[in-house]
């Protein structure tokens, strides 16, 4: 582990304490989901991607300054070569300032990694899955196989991992599957979180036509189910309800219809070492350059600067008068 320079908490100029770091270990993915990526993507040269020891040094600096939760993302984190080594190493920080290590995955590689994740101290994961129909799954992901993801989920549960399904709700695409997905997830002891689509990068989807406000969906579901608001928080932006009829938990992430910026506690590190202070803004700090050029002291100073420039919030908008994405980079660049 890297010796920290500072242990002062990371608090931005709006008084928000940063306790949650999302680390994109790669921009690559074995899927090309229509709301996330263009079909023909140009990925980063591998030489530009942070080395594992650099990721660990940056993680140590965050942990020393009060970050208690780290989530690994991508792209698809489990496609990076030797990713199990990084996960095991970061797992050694658990109980030493780090309370939770988790990841978000598309599930395609989960069957072969599930036991290793559990052994490293990972206790729960998010699996992105937007449909239970094999043909629709292939269309949304452009190349994925639903059976691989279901096998991965089964392996993860066998390994003792708690699972939450993340589902991007899209009008005219999968809105008819929200209740079946809820039954599927809750019937297997998993949570389900619904997510509004966000205008990030040019992709193969009409975001205006497919936008489904979750407030509208919540109202529809409340006519058929007994939804009781929960105070449950998992460190992210989701708001949760208990569904009496299924006995499960349903989450809503609403970056478009009701943003959650006032309680933002997180920042995102890209695979090239750029620290984005907001998913919906371009404010960033180059932590890779800070580390390589000045070591721990420069990295610490860069984190102080990041807290000074972290914006108050995003300003996503989606309508026919503004068809271009709010942010040019794809979701896979920042880590979803």
> In sequence order, what DSSP letters do the residues of 251-293 get, joined into one string?
EEE-TTTS--GGG--EEEE-TTSEEES-TTS--EEEHHHHHHH
- Rounded to 5 degrees, φ, ψ at 119 are -65, -30
Q: Could you list the residues known to form a binding site for S-adenosyl-L-methionine, using ranges.
A: 35, 75, 128, 198
What ranges do the domains of the chain cover?
A: 20-334
Is the pLDDT confidence value at 213 over 60? yes
Task: List, as own/partner pairs, every contact residues 38-45 make where C-beta atoms lie below 8 angstroms and the sequence separation is at least 24, other chains included.
Answer: 38/201, 38/202, 38/203, 38/204, 38/330, 39/142, 39/204, 41/330, 41/332, 44/271, 44/272
Which residues fall within 8 angstroms of residue 125, CB to CB, at 6 or more apart? 102, 103, 104, 105, 110, 117, 156, 161, 162, 163, 164
Q: Could you list the residues known to form a binding site for [4Fe-4S] cluster, using ranges.
A: 29, 33, 36, 261, 264, 278
Whether omega before 193 lies within 30 degrees of 0, making that bond cis, reads no
Average pLDDT over residues 320-333: 51
First-to-final CA distance of the chain: 27
Predicted local confidence at residue 181, as pLDDT: 98
Query: In this prediction, what percent of the chain has a pLDDT beyond 70?
Result: 87
Q: What is the pLDDT of residues 216-268, one digit of tens each?
A: 999 999 999 999 999 877 666 789 999 999 999 999 998 655 556 777 899 99
Would you call 62 helix, strand, or coil by DSSP? helix
Predicted local confidence at residue 82, as pLDDT: 97
Average pLDDT over residues 19-28: 96
More confident residue, 298 or 316: 298
Q: Could you list the residues known to form a binding site, using ranges.
A: 22, 29, 33, 35-36, 71, 75, 104, 128, 164, 198, 261, 264, 266-268, 278
Which residues fall within 8 angstroms of residue 15, CB to CB, at 6 or more apart? none
Q: What are the C-alpha distances in Å from 175 to residues 180, 227, 316? A: 10, 19, 22
CATH fit for domain 20-334, picks 3.90.45.10, 1.10.357.10, 3.20.20.70, 2.60.120.330: 3.20.20.70
Please tell me the pTM assigned to this model: 0.89
Q: Could you list the residues known to form a binding site for GTP, using ranges.
A: 22, 71, 104, 164, 266-268
């Amino acid at each position: 582990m890297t010796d920290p320079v500072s242990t002062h908490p990371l608090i931005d100029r709006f008084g928000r304490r940063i306790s949650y770091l999302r680390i994109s270990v790669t921009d690559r993915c074995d899927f090309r989901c229509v709301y996330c990526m263009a079909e023909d993507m140009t990925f980063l040269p591998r030489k530009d991607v942070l080395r594992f020891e650099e990721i660990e040094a940056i993680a140590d600096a965050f942990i020393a300054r009060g970050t208690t939760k780290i989530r690994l993302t991508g792209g698809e984190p489990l496609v990076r070569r030797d990713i199990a080594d990084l996960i095991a190493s970061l797992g050694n920080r658990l109980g030493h300032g780090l309370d939770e290590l988790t990841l978000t995955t598309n599930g395609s590689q989960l069957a072969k990694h599930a036991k290793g994740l559990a052994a490293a101290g990972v206790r729960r994961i998010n699996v992105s899955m937007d449909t239970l129909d094999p043909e629709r799954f292939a269309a949304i992901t452009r190349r994925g196989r639903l059976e691989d993801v279901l096998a991965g989920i089964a392996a993860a549960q066998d390994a003792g991992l708690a699972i939450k399904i993340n589902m991007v709700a899209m009008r005219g695409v999968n809105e008819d599957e929200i209740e079946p997905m809820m039954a599927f997830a809750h019937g297997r002891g998993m949570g389900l979180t619904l997510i509004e689509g966000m205008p990030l990068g040019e992709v193969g989807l009409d975001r205006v036509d497919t936008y489904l406000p979750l407030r509208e969906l919540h109202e529809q579901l409340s006519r058929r189910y007994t939804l009781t608001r929960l105070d449950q928080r998992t460190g992210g932006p989701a708001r949760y309800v208990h569904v009496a009829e299924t006995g499960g938990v349903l989450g809503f992430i609403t970056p478009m219809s009701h943003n959650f910026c006032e309680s933002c506690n997180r920042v995102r590190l890209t695979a090239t070492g750029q620290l984005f202070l907001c998913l919906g803004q371009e404010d960033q700090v180059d932590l890779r350059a800070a580390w390589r050029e000045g070591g721990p002291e420069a990295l610490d100073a860069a984190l102080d600067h990041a807290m000074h420039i972290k914006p108050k919030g995003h300003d996503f908008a989606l309508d026919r008068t503004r068809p271009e994405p709010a942010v040019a980079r794809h979701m896979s660049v920042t880590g979803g």
